[in-house]
Structure 1
């Protein structure tokens, strides 16, 4: 069993290996320093871990200029084994999916997502009903960027027949972005807000912590 410190180092190294400093327009040193400031926040993450639960995930949210991270490029850095991820939306359409009004993204290049659950309890439940339930429990759905961050840090959490919607990003219509597996590759696509799927749950978080 790894410690929070070890897991933080592992996730940071994954981001460095995938050239996230270039994605944010920062030097390796500046990028590392920005995320390392989040290290103390791991103490606020729940200790338990299970098949559906991750104590914390490092999320890269913005470039050095403050612009949202390029989700299309970030999705292209994901993989399941040797099978690279892809987005089934063009870059302009994907950029329209922004955090919902009830979600506040912490300032800075990155932040910590704590108490992340992939939402198997919501398999075969519509995104609309899942959102109502999660809100009543004091939890929040994930944004597109947070779903990609979870997949990047823990690709093992995206599993056949246990994939997940990303309820906290919307673009003004009835589409809800989601991550699932297509031809052994991680795929970012969308489903309708009112449609249930036996293989699709709704991921959530206990909170977001910035510096």
Structure 2
């Protein structure tokens, strides 16, 4: 099982250390730390700190997913990446989930959804709703991996079906986003073997190595 999330204040410090705080009139390092402190008063232990994607879209978060990989020449740190055929990654917005309209918010203890591995996104969406939970968005899933890189394990990764992309005709794109570990094959390239990978799977396809990340609530400051 992945390690528990650190306190919200520590999560804020990590985002600052990684340079993942916009320095603007709306949100800077001090405001992020203040928001984390406020959320810590009511958030349950193990909550996840999230900066709204209007400040940190998935394309900005992905390169900061750091994983240490053992190679013949020693340990190396791999940076995360978005698959080549997902240049529209930032268009995958929250869908059928209630995300707070706040610069910074918290997600109650996320679950990787290992028990749903082998289900299709379509099937898992109904099951998660039936449990009174909500799927994580792609941005939330990326924040989780940023804080706890080991939440990605071989054959135990996850989809983030709280984010979908609408096409010009208003229909949902059949692609659904996921985060897993690259095998370094194909267009990924051997230099990315072991790196965190943002990709997609079809809405009706099943994968035995992908669970469905979810939460039972989100908290605004």
Fold shared by both chains (TM-score > 0.5):
yes
TM-score by length of 2: 0.80
Q: Which runs of 4+ in 1 moved over 6 A?
A: none
Q: 1:76 and 2:76 equivalent?
A: no
CA distance in 1, matches of 2:4, 2:156: 26
Aligned to 1:193: 203
Aligned to 2:102: 108
| 1:59-87 deviation per Cα after TM superposition (whole angstroms, max 9, x unaligned) | 1115xxxx352210111111112111111
> RMSD value over aligned CA atoms?
2.2
TM-score by length of 1: 0.84
Structure whose residues are more often helix by fraction: 1
- Rate the CA distance shift 1:24–1:208 in 2: closer, same or farther, 3 A: farther
- Rate the CA distance shift 1:94–1:39 in 2: closer, same or farther, 3 A: same
Aligned length: 194
Aligned to 1:51: none
Larger of the two Rg values belongs to structure: 2
Q: Which piece of structure 1 moves more, 15-24 or 128-137?
A: 15-24
8 Å CA contact retained: 1:41, 1:112: no
Query: Which residues of structure 2 form unaligned runs of 5+?
Result: 69-76, 166-171, 183-192
Query: Which residues of structure 1 form unaligned runs of 5+?
Result: 48-54
Aligned to 1:170: 164
- Rate the CA distance shift 1:23–1:184 in 2: closer, same or farther, 3 A: farther
8 Å CA contact retained: 2:20, 2:56: no
